[in-house]
Amino acid sequence: MSFNVNGVPLRVDTIQFRNLSGNSFSITRLDFYISNIEITSVTGAIYKSTKFFYVSARDTSTYHFTVNGLPLTGITSFRCCIGLSASQNISNSLTPTQANLNMAWPDNMGGGYHFLKLEGHYIASNLQVYGYAMHLGKNQNLVEITLSTPLYESQVSNGIKLAMDVAKWYNAPAKIDLNNTNYTMGIDSLMAKLSQNGKNVLSITN
């Protein structure tokens, strides 16, 4: 995986990026799960994985993950989810690593795990700097992504390169203005918007 904001490589802890609402913002934390990987081969065969992977933009060791049994031929499409399926999204069900413990979703808010933690700072309309926390969880907000990006066998021989454009979490189809929305956890209407926008955040860059 790699990360960018409007095509500019991600740098954490610096207010240098902008979204479509005109907010200048930084990213201090970007943690999420990738799951339900499904790849369609040029032969028509569909390969599915039940594995899930924790990814943190601050930890490059989480940028690479391996799924066994995937096609060595070219592919016609790639699907995955940001978040965990309902069978995995159960409180205390994951191995209690520090990462998984930090992603726990409070039981009094439905339990399970955070699908996404996107945090940082922004310059408000009054020119003051405030923090934001765009958190996503609960089964109905699983982000399902389909990338119809045909790749030849030679292009996938060294793996599939996924890029996340962080600005797209704010941009479409729901334009999110941090002056009005800087906290989403437990607010169903806002998490639904974030989930819809999440369908657009990944691309393949092979």
Please write the tens of the pLDDT for every residue from 77-102: 999 999 999 999 999 999 999 999 99
Instruction: Give the phi and the psi of residue 55 in degrees, each rounded to 5.
Output: -130, 135
Domain of 60, in residue numbers? 2-204
pLDDT at 164 > cutoff 70: yes
Of the candidates 149, 147, 196, the residue with the CA atom closest to the CA atom of residue 168? 196
pLDDT at 71 > cutoff 70: no
Average pLDDT, stretch 101-116? 97
Q: What pLDDT shows up at residue 158?
A: 85
Two tokens, residue 26: 């930084």
pLDDT at 72 > cutoff 80: no
Q: Which residues pair with 145 in a beta bridge?
A: 80
How many residues in total does the chain contain? Answer: 206
Name the percent of the chain lying above pLDDT 90. 92
pLDDT at 152 > cutoff 70: yes
Average pLDDT, stretch 160-169? 97
> Hey, how many other C-beta atoms are within 10 angstroms of the C-beta on 46?
12
pLDDT at 70 > cutoff 90: no
Domain count, the chain: 1
Q: What pLDDT shows up at residue 69?
A: 76
- Mapping DSSP onto H, E and C, the string for 76-107 reads EEEEEEECCCCCCCCCCCCCCCHHHHHCECCH
**Distance from C-alpha of 106 to C-alpha of 89, rounded to nearest angstrom:** 12
**Distance from C-alpha of 197 to C-alpha of 58, rounded to nearest angstrom:** 22
Half-sphere exposure at residue 192, Cβ-oriented, CA atoms within 13 angstroms:
4
